[in-house]
Amino acid sequence: QSVLTQPPSVSGTPGQKITISCSGDSSNIRSNSVHWYQLIAGEAPRLLIHDDDQRPSGVPDRFSGSKSGTSASLAISGLRSEDEADYYCVSWDDALSGLWVFGGGTKVTVL
Amino acid sequence: QVQLQESGPGEVKPSETLSLTCSVSDDSMRGTFWNWLRQSQGKGLEWLGSINHRGTTNYNPSLKSRVTMSIDTSKKEFSLSLSSVTAADTAVYYCVRGSVGVLIRLQHFQYWGQGIQVTVSS
């Protein structure tokens, strides 16, 4: 059971906009930044969004992040076939002595 | 672009210790945290622990009794030891460099290795 809650799967057609949600609580998302990663089998995981809504250089502006309260979202606009991957949200959790917590991952399928 | 490469055995026997090393291309290992994460088959990502250039560690509380991390800045390497392994420790293990900063809670996982599959099997 993951500390952060993501939908197991999201699908869309090419060109469509999809959104992946990430729900937490006051000890993680409300108090700390949310970061998003893309995992494709056989490749090194890729940082897509850091600090809630910051996009690293090289990441297309089709990817955007937002946060409100205890929830965060990753949006992918202009969906492309190469976006088919697993996406994870991550945040620091202040509980106990502190630790990184993750969502369970969302499988994005491009129909 | 910082590059990281995991190395170690691909198979470990139950109850033994899993040992992995990460070689990094960074000129300096200062000013950030070096991390180990893993992803089990069909499961999500899990953070095992972090270490800085001084050897200060933060471990996942659920694994703290079994995890040890070390760092050798002269060799540009850091390592993971996970003791008393079981089948539940079968996973792809990633070494990851954090972003620049001295506070772990303000970091993010910036650069990742390709990952190494480790299977626990007799």
A chain contacts of residue B106, beta-carbon cutoff 8 Å: 33
Task: Identify the residue among A32, A100, A107 best suited for mutation to test binding to B, counting B beta carbons within 10 A and taking the highest.
Answer: A100
How far apart are alpha carbons B50 and B33 in whole angstroms?
Answer: 6
pLDDT in tens, B65-107: 999 999 999 999 999 999 999 999 999 999 999 998 888 999 9
Would you state the pLDDT for residue A106?
96
pLDDT in tens, A18-61: 999 999 999 999 999 999 999 998 899 999 999 999 999 999 99
Is the pLDDT at B26 greater than 90? The verdict is: no
Would you state the pLDDT for residue B43?
77
Q: What's the mean per-residue pLDDT of chain B?
A: 94
Dihedral sign computed on CA atoms, order B96, B101, B104, B110: negative
Q: Nearest Cβ partner of B45 from A46, A47, A102?
A: A102
Would you state the torsion angle of the CA atoms of residues A53, A54, A56, A62, taken in this order, to the nearest 10 degrees?
40
